[in-house]
Amino acid sequence: MADTHGRGGVTTYRPSNGAARAATSVPARWSARRRERLLQLAFLVPAVAYLLAFFGYPVAQNVVMAFQHYTTATFYTGEAPWIGLDNYAAVVGSAVFSKALLNTALFTLGSIAGQFVIGLAIAVFFRRQFPLSRVLRSLLLLPWLVPLIVSGAVWRWILDQDNGVLNRFLGALHLVADRPGWLTSTSLALIAVIAVNIWIGIPFNMTILYGGLQDIPEELYEAAAMDGATGWRAFRYVTWPLLRPVVNVVLVLGVVYTIKVLDIILGLTGGGPANATQTIATQSYQLSFQQFDFGQGAALGNILIVISLVFALFYLRASRGAVRG
Amino acid sequence: MTPAVASRVRTRRPWASTVIGVLLLAVMLFPVYWMANVSLQPSGSAAQTPWFPVQLSFAGYGVALSQQGGHLLTSLIVAAGSVLFSLLIATPAAYALAHFRVRGSTAVLFGILISQMIPGIVVANALYSAYNNLGLLNSIPGLILADSTAGIPFAILILRAFLGAIPTEVVEAARVDGAGQIRAFVSIVLPMSRNALITAALFTFLFTWSDFLFALTLTTTEDVRPVTLGLFQYIGTYVNDWSSVMATAVLASIPAVALLLVAQRYVTAGVTGGAVK
């Protein structure tokens, strides 16, 4: 009771009906308030329990597993010997690690740059008023809405070296001498995977940036036009500065989502050829679910979380900025 | 979306822009067209797929339905279950976050934002052993619970934004009339937020339907196999019948297409709402 009373000032529900409040005795009011508070908490408890079980527990468990020799044998014997930092040493020391780290950086930066620039260009284009613009704009969302593994399957066939439609098209135009192995050549695979991921991400970038553009008042463009700023100069001095908060959110969200992409890489190349498209996320999957070394998979996963969290700080700052702006 | 009209640029030749827009769409949606085209070709024509399905054939769909029909059904059950479970958990929480100043609600919100940074593979890595102990591997409830990791945080964020717009006075008026907290929530708040609930439900369905990672890691047998994993296994081996693979891909895209055609007005709200709010 004392505890409830102590925190009473923080709680929210204040009965707006003064007469009703005056009519009840003091202890009854306390217990009513306590009931109210418990009820309010009850609204939140299931979600908190779920978040703890399906985000909190996995993260904690990964931290623990990374210090253990945790393999398939563990499921039978129930034993996972402590091995200190051996998993981290093995994961970071492996030849794949630096390759995967570089690929993750290239994949993330390349995807974001492409998605953002093309998405912004399309968003600016759709500011024009023309027949069918609404319909066209919403149909453009389709690549983002279909399951990633579907996109992977479709692009795998489009990019097929011998029978893919891209090579047929390029061959017909005499643009390439021999058929490039988009997904099978170590020098092209990462570029192809990035290109596909750009295709997937354009609609998302376009939609959010378009929403941001709609919030810029038309009068500002009219005023800018009077001062002689149209076209590129209007973009540079009106659109860009006012769009900045939205740009921040789009970019940081893009990084956070792209850095952990798994589906599209597994669907297109499976991380190959010769680790040419292996990222931290796909390598973590390989370690846990192909080599069944869950300890090493956990260690690599934790490294990915740390990288993500660095961006998370940017994200929180950016989204706070967007809310204020 | 309403301020759209005010700040639009007027162009002198609007139809020229339409032509550019159509060309843009044609390029962007070519892969989708190609998927449909290949799916309608007679099977076995691996080399040199014609540009149009002149020899219209539904053989690919026949194979797809006989081999992947069960997987489609599994996906449907898991997605529907996840929608129900996610909304059940997320709606009260979103209401509490929007209207009560409960201690720790900032922490909950912070936790939801942080949860977006946690890679799925980390969750799967830990869930695999936990599921193994609990007997949840290869089970529908196991997949529903895991797949809701996408739906629940999204639904909380988007519903919170919508529910926050409901005036406190409306709820308080009901309370003064004697309605309890739960009654006010069920009979006042829920009906008022129908559109928000539909948006959250549609996106949760789509997220779960599209899930691949948990299907890949938390199922090991044919018993419970969503269509995304069925498709992955198709392309994992050497493919000689692309028409049935693409027919499966088309069938797996139906919810996305349906969402765009039927519930278009909710889609943009979902894309923007979850990101910025």
pLDDT in tens, A194-211: 999 999 999 999 999 998
Q: Tell me how many residue pairs between chain A and chain B have CB atoms under 8 A apart.
A: 343
Residue A287 DSSP class: I
* Tokens linked to A315: 């994200």
Q: In whole numbers, what is the pLDDT of chain A averaged over residues? A: 85
- Same-domain status, A97 and A231: yes
Cβ-based contacts of A16 with chain B (< 8 Å):
172, 176
Question: Which strand (E) or helix (H) includes residue B250?
Answer: helix B242-262
Question: Which strand (E) or helix (H) includes residue B9?
Answer: strand B9-10
By residue range, what is the domain housing residue B191? 68-276
Q: Note whether A143 contacts B38, CB cutoff 8 Å.
A: no
For chain A, where are the alpha helices, taking DSSP H only?
2-7, 18-23, 26-51, 57-65, 72-77, 86-93, 95-125, 133-139, 142-145, 148-158, 165-172, 189-214, 218-226, 231-234, 240-258, 263-268, 280-285, 294-324
pLDDT at A190 over 80: yes
Of A63-77, A208-222, B4-18, give the lowest mean pLDDT range: B4-18
End-to-end CA distance of chain B: 15
- Same-domain status, A275 and A179: yes
pLDDT at B44 over 70: no
Cβ-based contacts of A206 with chain B (< 8 Å):
none
Tell me what pLDDT residue B219 has.
93
Tell me what pLDDT residue B50 has.
81
Tell me what pLDDT residue A310 has.
83
Q: Which of A78-92, A242-256, B65-79, B107-121 has the highest mean pLDDT?
A: B65-79
- Same-domain status, A130 and A279: yes
Distance between CA A261 and CA B119 in Å, rounded? 8
The answer to the question of residue A293 being in a domain is yes
Instruction: Give the residue from A167, A149, A181 showing the smallest Cα distance to A274.
Output: A181
The answer to the question of residue A318 being in a domain is yes
The CATH number for B111's domain is 1.10.3720.10
Q: Note whether B118 contacts A312, CB cutoff 8 Å.
A: no
Tell me what pLDDT residue B124 has.
95
Distances in Å between the alpha carbon of A195 and those of A148, A153, A204?
A: 14, 15, 15
Distances in Å between the alpha carbon of B193 and those of A307, B79, B93, B169?
A: 37, 22, 14, 16
Between A28 and B40, name the one with better pLDDT. Answer: B40
Tell me what pLDDT residue A89 has.
93
Tell me what pLDDT residue A322 has.
52
Instruction: Give the residue from B267, B266, B277, B268 showing the smallest Cα distance to B158.
Output: B277
The answer to the question of residue B200 being in a domain is yes
Q: Is A7 on the interface with B (CB under 8 A)?
A: yes
Distance between CA B110 and CA A101 in Å, rounded? 28
The answer to the question of residue B181 being in a domain is yes
By residue range, what is the domain housing residue A51? 2-65
pLDDT band with cut points at 50, 70 and 90 for residue A318: low
The answer to the question of residue B158 being in a domain is yes
pLDDT at A163 over 90: no
- Same-domain status, A96 and A147: yes
- Same-domain status, A145 and A249: yes
Q: Note whether B115 contacts A51, CB cutoff 8 Å.
A: yes
The CATH number for A265's domain is 1.10.3720.10
Per-residue b/e over B43-81, b at no fewer than 16 CB within 10 Å?
A: bebbeebeeebeeeeebbbebbbeebebbbebbbebbbb
* Tokens linked to B71: 């997987």
pLDDT tens readout for residues B144-176: 999 999 999 999 988 988 888 888 888 888 888
pLDDT band with cut points at 50, 70 and 90 for residue A24: low
- Same-domain status, A92 and A57: no
The answer to the question of residue B57 being in a domain is no
pLDDT tens readout for residues A40-56: 888 999 999 999 999 99
The answer to the question of residue A71 being in a domain is no
pLDDT at A97 over 90: yes
Rounded average pLDDT over B192-202: 88
pLDDT at B8 over 70: no
Tell me what pLDDT residue A1 has.
33
3-state DSSP helix/strand/coil percent for chain B, to nearest 5?
A: 75, 0, 25
pLDDT at A12 over 50: no
Measured over the CA atoms of residue A87, residue A90, residue A93 and residue A98, the dihedral's sign is negative
Rounded average pLDDT over A87-104: 93
Distance between CA A72 and CA A78 in Å, rounded? 10
Residue A129 DSSP class: E
pLDDT at B237 over 60: yes
pLDDT tens readout for residues A135-147: 898 899 899 999 9
Q: Is B178 helix (H, G, I), strand (E, B) or coil?
A: coil
Q: Are B53 and B163 in contact (CB under 8 A)?
A: no
The answer to the question of residue A160 being in a domain is yes
Q: Is A67 on the interface with B (CB under 8 A)?
A: no
The answer to the question of residue A264 being in a domain is yes
Rounded average pLDDT over B63-86: 94
Residue B3 DSSP class: G
Distances in Å between the alpha carbon of B153 and those of A116, A191, A304?
A: 25, 32, 20
Distances in Å between the alpha carbon of B116 and those of A93, A257, A311?
A: 29, 8, 11
Q: Note whether A284 contacts B96, CB cutoff 8 Å.
A: no
Q: For chain A, what is the domain count?
A: 2
Q: For chain B, what is the domain count?
A: 1
The answer to the question of residue B238 being in a domain is yes
- Same-domain status, A38 and A109: no
Q: Are B142 and B223 in contact (CB under 8 A)?
A: no
Query: How far does Cα B179 stand from its chain's mean position?
Result: 35
Distance of residue B55 Cα from the nearest chain A Cα, in angstroms: 18
pLDDT tens readout for residues B127-142: 999 999 999 999 999 9
Burial degree of A113 (CB within 10 A; 0-12, 13-18, 19+): middle
Distance between CA B240 and CA B46 in Å, rounded? 6
- Same-domain status, A112 and A56: no
Which residues fall within 8 angstroms of residue A262, CB to CB, at 6 or more apart? A281, A282, A285, B119, B120, B121, B212, B213
Tell me what pLDDT residue A11 has.
37
- Same-domain status, A138 and A235: yes
Query: How far does Cα B72 stand from its chain's mean position?
Result: 15
The answer to the question of residue B45 being in a domain is no
- The number of residues making up chain A comes to 325
Distance between CA B233 and CA B230 in Å, rounded? 5
A82 DSSP β-pair partners: A68
The answer to the question of residue B34 being in a domain is no
- Same-domain status, A115 and A209: yes
Q: Note whether A138 contacts B28, CB cutoff 8 Å.
A: no
**CA Rg value for chain A:** 27
ipTM of model: 0.89
Q: Is B135 helix (H, G, I), strand (E, B) or coil?
A: coil
- Same-domain status, A263 and A171: yes
- CB contacts under 8 A, A 223-262 vs B, are 246, 249-250, 253, 256-257, 259-260, 262
- Same-domain status, A22 and A143: no
Distance of residue A48 Cα from the nearest chain B Cα, in angstroms: 7
Distance of residue A263 Cα from the nearest chain B Cα, in angstroms: 7
Cβ-based contacts of A70 with chain B (< 8 Å):
129
Nearest chain A alpha carbon to B206: A145
Nearest chain A alpha carbon to B120: A260
Three-state DSSP string of B109-122: HHHHHHHCCCCHHH
Residue B2 DSSP class: G
pLDDT tens readout for residues B82-130: 999 999 999 999 999 988 877 788 889 888 888 888 999 999 999 999 9
The answer to the question of residue B8 being in a domain is no
Q: Are A119 and A198 in contact (CB under 8 A)?
A: no
Amino acid at A127: R
Q: How many CB atoms sit inside 10 A of residue A271's CB?
A: 25
